[in-house]
Amino acid sequence: MRILIVEDEQSIAKGIASILHSQPQYKCDISFAENGREAIELLDYSPPLDLIISDIRMFHMTGLEFVETLREKNITTKVIIISGYDYFQYVQRALRAGVLDYLLKPIDKQQLLALVDKVWKELPQEYAGTTNVVPFSHDFFSLDFENEEYPSSLRKIVAFIRKNYSLDLSLQMLSEELMLHPNYISTLINKHYKVSFSHVLDYVRLEKACTLLTSTDMTIAEVSYLVGYNNERRLYTAFRRRLGESPGDFRKKWRV
């Protein structure tokens, strides 16, 4: 389940993430934003979300303004508003904007999980089979894309790659789309992840390929096309280079 936490207090954001990660059945893929403005920018490049959990009092754009902006953009993702203020006008405005619920701080863990469970159960039946990460393990898959301490520009770069991995991505394309210099993108990735742009791109594509190979009956050629390699040989080369084995051998080893 893809979840965005919009909260300017890191301790609260991390606390919410900890609660969500304590329930492994949801397979949470969590991203963070410090305010509504940053969250809107992130949503322009990120994959579709299943749930947004947003504080109500933040700089630049309040949680209520954020939700109203989402609706103006026809983004119908379910939203949970959290607040330290039990003001009727806040609750009324939030409900008019179509939020799922309005929770008061300190957040009640069971109340939050009950809402998350409700969202999870309303997702399409095929969701688990196509988006959950199959429990395979390899040293190659060790990057932390969820570290909220990384700069927002890096998180925007990664979000764009994760949304558009099936395209013929290049540093030049990212530069044009994100209005960032190619050298800056490359330097930012190397500084924080200690790897190259091509490593991150292979990481995202191979993670998806591994999930498809182990949870579907798609042919290797079909998988290669879906994850952006476009032909089986390129997928085979990436598997050998990064994981040390062929796609077929990986499928036999980890097939559910």
pLDDT digits (tens, 9 = 90+) for 59-86: 778 888 898 888 888 788 899 999 887 7
Instruction: In whole angstroms, give the CA distance from residue 126 to residue 129.
Output: 5
Q: Is the confidence at residue 204, as pLDDT, over 60? A: yes
pLDDT by residue (tens digit) across 146-170? Answer: 777 888 899 889 988 988 888 889 9
Task: Compute and round to an integer the Cα radius of gyration of the chain.
Answer: 19
**Neighbour order of strands in the sheet with 2-6:** 29-33, 2-6, 51-55, 78-83, 101-104
Average pLDDT on 248-253 reads 89
165 compared with 93, residue with greater pLDDT: 165
| Overall pTM > 0.85 | no
Band of residue 128 on the pLDDT scale cut at 50, 70, 90: very low
pLDDT digits (tens, 9 = 90+) for 6-55: 998 888 988 898 898 888 777 777 888 888 888 888 887 666 788 999 99
Mean pLDDT check: name the lowest of 47-51, 85-89, 214-218, 233-237: 85-89
Answer yes or no: are the C-beta atoms of 134 and 254 closer than 8 Å. yes
CA 162, chain centre distance (Å)? 8
Q: Which of the pair, 100 or 198, is modelled with greater confidence?
A: 198
> For the residues 119-145, what does the mean pLDDT come to?
66
Mean predicted confidence (pLDDT) in 82-94: 76
User: In this model, does residue 192 exceed pLDDT 50?
Assistant: yes
List the one residue out of 204, 143, 194, 144 whose CA is nearest residue 169: 204
Parallel/antiparallel/unpaired status of strands 29-33 and 2-6: parallel
| Lowest mean pLDDT segment, chosen from 86-95, 151-160, 179-188 | 86-95
Domains of the chain and CATH, by start:
2-131 (3.40.50.2300), 152-254 (1.10.10.60)
Triad 33, 39, 104: Cα angle to 5°: 65
Whether the predicted pLDDT of 115 surpasses 60: yes
Helices (H), the chain: 10-21, 36-43, 63-72, 88-96, 109-122, 127-131, 152-164, 171-178, 182-193, 197-215, 220-226, 232-243, 247-254
Mean pLDDT in the chain? 85
What is the reported pLDDT for 60?
76
The pLDDT value given to residue 256: 57
